[in-house]
Amino acid sequence: MHFIGKLLGFIIGCKFGFFGALAGLILGHLADKKLYELGSVNSSFFKKKLTRQSLFMQTTFAVLGHLTKSKGRVTENDIQMASNLMAQMQLDDANRRLAQEAFQRGKQADFPIREVIREFRIGCGQRADLLRMFLHVQLQAAFADDHLHQNEKEVLFLVAEELGLSRFQFEQMLAMEIAARQFSRGGFSQQQRQGGYQYNYGRQQYGNGGGQDYARNTSGPTIEDAYKVLGVSASDDQQTVKRAYRRLMNENHPDKLVSKGLPKEMLEMAKEKAQQIQAAYDLICKTKGWK
């Protein structure tokens, strides 16, 4: 219930006429926003009250544990990936222990992933931009080894489904994430062959039959990648592309995400996402000759 401040502000402001009611509504909105930021949420899985930032962080690592276990077993590389993420977030000792405990719980066979994600969604106030950022973090982790196992993909879709995304929206977001990686790591391309997928990395070529691999594209990101990042097509006009760009930049504004519940330790990840969107838009404008 994030409207009590607005309601009280409006009622009190009405005593001072129209402009008083308007001012009361605005002040009430600011109060509701601050209460949301400072508020805590109940977690039946973690069995305590948590701030939204702590819920976001612990749920992130719990789902990461489940995601890595979905491939059959958790490898040393998977553990290192989680440790690298903790280091990237610069977690202090207390939060690192919480993240490690969550990761271990996520690996358990009876991990109730649907219930955990439903609870997380409610705890985040069902804010679409924050929920998509959560999925973005999971996708980044899944692609850490440049390989997306089929079981990982199914877990990611389950997460997306519980966050309110359809299969089409999930596949679209997946394509956007793959393309976005090219703007931060030099480029990756997916190639399909009979019986599985293969990829080129430098002069070496690898393949498998259990998932999808993503190879570094040494020529850098293409205009097609840029279109996918923004979710637009080559036939879209300048206004359509600009609207898509502005919408994505607004949804992925780092400071706004932090105010809604993104842990401040993930601020740099949000900034990188915004930079990828900016780079894709700049490439389209340069290619099209748009000012």
Within this chain, do residues 143 and 271 fall inside the same structural domain, yes or no? Answer: yes
Higher pLDDT, 39 or 265: 265
| Structural domain count of the chain | 2
Within this chain, do residues 21 and 138 fall inside the same structural domain, yes or no? Answer: no
Within this chain, do residues 75 and 155 fall inside the same structural domain, yes or no? Answer: yes
User: What's the rounded mean pLDDT across residues 15-25?
Assistant: 65
Per-residue model confidence as pLDDT tens digits over 108-142: 999 999 999 999 998 888 788 889 999 999 998 88
Question: Could you give the CA distance from residue 185 to residue 6 in angstroms, rounded to a whole number?
Answer: 45
Integer Rg of the chain from CA: 21
Question: Could you give the CA distance from residue 91 to residue 94 in angstroms, rounded to a whole number?
Answer: 8
Q: Is the pLDDT of residue 31 over 70?
A: no
Within this chain, do residues 163 and 79 fall inside the same structural domain, yes or no? Answer: yes
* Pair 95, 85: CB distance under 8 Å: no
Within this chain, do residues 62 and 170 fall inside the same structural domain, yes or no? Answer: yes
Q: Is the pLDDT of residue 206 over 50?
A: no
* Pair 82, 64: CB distance under 8 Å: yes
Backbone angles phi, psi at 156, to 5 degrees: -60, -40
Question: Could you give the CA distance from residue 198 to residue 213 in angstroms, rounded to a whole number?
Answer: 6
Per-residue model confidence as pLDDT tens digits over 159-180: 999 999 999 999 999 998 888 8
Question: Could you give the CA distance from residue 32 to residue 199 in angstroms, rounded to a whole number?
Answer: 50
Within this chain, do residues 17 and 137 fall inside the same structural domain, yes or no? Answer: no
Residue 148 has which token pair? 């997306």
What is the chain's mean pLDDT, rounded?
A: 80
* Pair 79, 164: CB distance under 8 Å: no
Within this chain, do residues 85 and 10 fall inside the same structural domain, yes or no? Answer: no
Q: Is the pLDDT of residue 4 over 70?
A: no
The position carrying tokens 């290619």 is 287
Sorted by sequence, the CB contacts under 8 Å of residue 20 that are 6+ apart come out as: 13, 14
Among the listed residues 224, 154, 149, 212, the one whose alpha carbon sits nearest the alpha carbon of residue 183: 224
What local confidence, expressed as pLDDT, does residue 75 receive?
85
What local confidence, expressed as pLDDT, does residue 194 receive?
31
* Least confident window among 65-74, 213-222, 253-262: 213-222
Helices 76-88 and 93-106: angle between axes, nearest 10 degrees: 150
Within this chain, do residues 176 and 90 fall inside the same structural domain, yes or no? Answer: yes
Q: Is the pLDDT of residue 51 over 70?
A: yes
Query: Which domain, by its residues, includes 17?
Result: 4-38
Most confident of 48-57, 104-113, 190-199: 104-113
Within this chain, do residues 30 and 115 fall inside the same structural domain, yes or no? Answer: no
* Pair 7, 37: CB distance under 8 Å: no
Query: Parallel, antiparallel, or unpaired for β 147-149 and 188-189?
Result: unpaired
Higher pLDDT, 188 or 204: 188
Please count the residues of the chain.
Answer: 291
What local confidence, expressed as pLDDT, does residue 203 receive?
26
What local confidence, expressed as pLDDT, does residue 111 receive?
95
* Pair 235, 174: CB distance under 8 Å: no
What local confidence, expressed as pLDDT, does residue 64 receive?
94
Within this chain, do residues 10 and 105 fall inside the same structural domain, yes or no? Answer: no
Q: Is the pLDDT of residue 283 over 70?
A: yes
pLDDT confidence tier of residue 205, bands split at 50, 70 and 90: very low
Q: Left (φ > 0), alpha (ψ -120 to 50) or beta: where does 17 sit?
A: left
Within this chain, do residues 201 and 133 fall inside the same structural domain, yes or no? Answer: yes
User: What's the rounded mean pLDDT across residues 185-192?
Assistant: 41
* Pair 226, 240: CB distance under 8 Å: no
Within this chain, do residues 123 and 177 fall inside the same structural domain, yes or no? Answer: yes
What local confidence, expressed as pLDDT, does residue 49 receive?
83
